[in-house]
Amino acid sequence: MKKPNIIFYFADQQRWDTVTPTLTPSLTTLASEGVKFENCFTCQPVCGPARACLQSGTYATENRSYWNGIALKDDIKPLAEYFNENGYDTAYIGKWHLASDRYPGIGIHCENSSIPKDRQGKYQYMRAADVLEFTSHGYDGYVFDENGNKLEFKGYRADCINDYATEYIDNHSGDKPFFMFISQLEPHHQNDRHCYEGYKPTVESYKDYPIPDDLTFLKGDYAKNYPDYISAINRLDYNVGRLVEKLKEKGIYDDTIIIYTSDHGSHFKTRNLEYKRSPHDSCTHIPLIIKGGKFVGGESVSDIVSLIDLPATLLDMAGIEIPTSYSGNSLQSEVKREHAFIQISESQVGRAIRTKDYLYSIRAVGIGYIKAKAKIYFEDYLYDVNADPCQKVNLIKSPKYKDVRAKLREQISKQMVEIGEKQPIILPALFTRKK
């Protein structure tokens, strides 16, 4: 039986609620042909750790890349190696974020230089930069190939990254199936300019685009940045459409599975001082569409799923045995999740679970940039997401929800132990956080 080509199309910082027929017609079409997962949540709401989870199939504390700036460990067999061993050609395009070490002057630093061969995650073909926001802006920049050659590009960044993907498809021999990971930076903000950078011809048309209700009751920078953010997402969708047309032109669309998702969302500085690293849905709820293979028919699935499920799903799609070390479940299986488990680092040492009915989180005392685990945690947030979908009212000290908290406390403790953390001590909240 012929194995499918598999394309993993990865946005950066895209909220779940930005996939709509008018804003994202290409993704809407993919969803109508495949399956749209309405309740997918990240397992780590920050760029590097989320990518480490995908490349390793394990949670961030398991793979030890729990902060930005911790390279994928040498003793971890990366995702691409499984595909290489099982008859696939492998390609990685865009933002890598798993090669440079954390502290200045210590270890390897390739944030804006070529990625060393032994830190490329075993991908055979690369058109990537370790930290793409350091080698480019919304327009213009450069990446490197697998041999360290610098490749400059001109034009809107999302278009140019997509060009490398269509070029790969054009030049692929077809002798073997391919697994291609496309890691766009959009709609992530541009770090050194402290703003989002949309596609200039369309930004103005989104100046009155409705801002989600989970943002507007809090202070943040959404009024300034939402038009650029939405413009960038619309342009990502345009590029997904271009990719689909290339697959059709080559006659391999029906032989190719496409997965579209994001590492995390964006809360636009409403929940903390930046855009992520928070347990709230605005930060952790992400889009997920899969088209092809067993994912057909335009179904919309409301089950809770996690980003950590996707590495197992990818291998399963290719007929590759899922390692026992993997923490997630293949979405091709009948296994249903009771909750999505989320580890939060850098802004805090936090853990959260998201069920269909509740968001519950705990937080340790101390600085998240200093430690990644703790023994003692305090209850931090509880939201009844059916009654309060915008997560306005923190119920963490409400007597009415005492039994709910006890059940969720037991769930989160069990989950932490299952992935190798010590049995936590979870104490009642010191105070009620307002946002």
| Secondary structure (DSSP) of 179-219 | EEEEE--TTS-BGGGTB----HHHHGGGTTPPPPHHHHTS-
For residues 179 and 261, state if they share a domain: yes
In a domain, 13, yes or no: yes
285: β partners? 41
Same domain for 401 and 308? no
Residue type, 304: I
- Asked if residue 177 and residue 99 are part of one domain, the reply reads yes
Residue 334 lies in a domain: no
Q: What's the CATH code of the domain at 376?
A: 3.30.1120.10
Does 227 share its domain with 354?
Answer: no
Query: 294: exposed, middle or buried (C-beta count within 10 Å: 0-12, 13-18, 19+)?
Result: middle
Q: What are the pLDDT digits (tens) for 377-404?
A: 999 999 999 999 999 999 999 999 999 9
Residue 331 lies in a domain: no
Judgement on whether residues 150 and 267 belong to the same structural domain of the protein: yes
Q: What is the pLDDT along the chain (435 residues), one digit of tens a residue?
A: 789 999 999 999 999 999 999 999 999 999 999 999 999 999 999 999 999 999 999 999 999 999 999 999 999 999 999 999 999 999 999 999 999 999 999 999 999 999 999 999 999 999 999 999 999 999 999 999 999 999 999 999 999 999 999 999 999 999 999 999 999 999 999 999 999 999 999 999 999 999 999 999 999 999 999 999 999 999 999 999 999 999 999 999 999 999 999 999 999 999 999 999 999 999 999 999 999 999 999 999 999 999 999 999 999 999 999 999 999 999 999 889 999 999 999 999 999 999 999 999 999 998 898 999 999 999 999 999 999 999 999 999 999 999 999 999 999 999 999 999 999 999 999 889 988
Q: Are residues 221 and 119 in the same domain?
A: yes
CB atoms within 10 A of CB 281: 23
Judge if 247 and 373 occupy the same domain: no
Residue 53 lies in a domain: yes
Q: Are 137 and 19 members of one domain?
A: yes
- Helices 222-249 + 157-171 axis angle, to 10: 20
Amino acid identity, residue 177? P
Domain annotation covers residue 220: yes
**Residue 323 belongs to some domain of the structure:** no
Is 107 a domain residue?
yes
Pairing of strands 5-11, 256-262: parallel
For residues 109 and 199, state if they share a domain.
yes
CA distance 423 to 203: 49
How far apart are alpha carbons 134 and 136 in whole angstroms? 6
Angle, vertex CA 27, rays to CA 386 and CA 142, nearest 5: 115
Residues 226, 294 contacting (CB under 8 angstroms)? no
Q: Final residue of a domain: which of 298, 317, 336? A: 317
Contact criterion met (CB below 8 Å) for 36 and 301: yes
Distance CA 331, CA 27 (A): 19
CATH number at residue 201: 3.40.720.10
Residue 229 lies in a domain: yes
Given the structure tokens 């945690």, which residue do they identify? 377
Please check whether residues 196 and 308 belong to one and the same domain. Answer: yes
* Domain hosting residue 204, numbered range: 5-317
273 with 413, same domain?
A: no
Q: How many domains does the chain have?
A: 2
pLDDT tens profile 92-139: 999 999 999 999 999 999 999 999 999 999 999 999 999 999 999 999
The pLDDT, as a whole number, for residue 1 is 74
**Residue tagged 């990518």 (tokens):** 51
**223 and 294 part of one domain:** yes
**Total residue count of the chain as it appears in this document:** 435
- Separation between Cα atoms, residue 45 and residue 50, nearest integer Å: 7
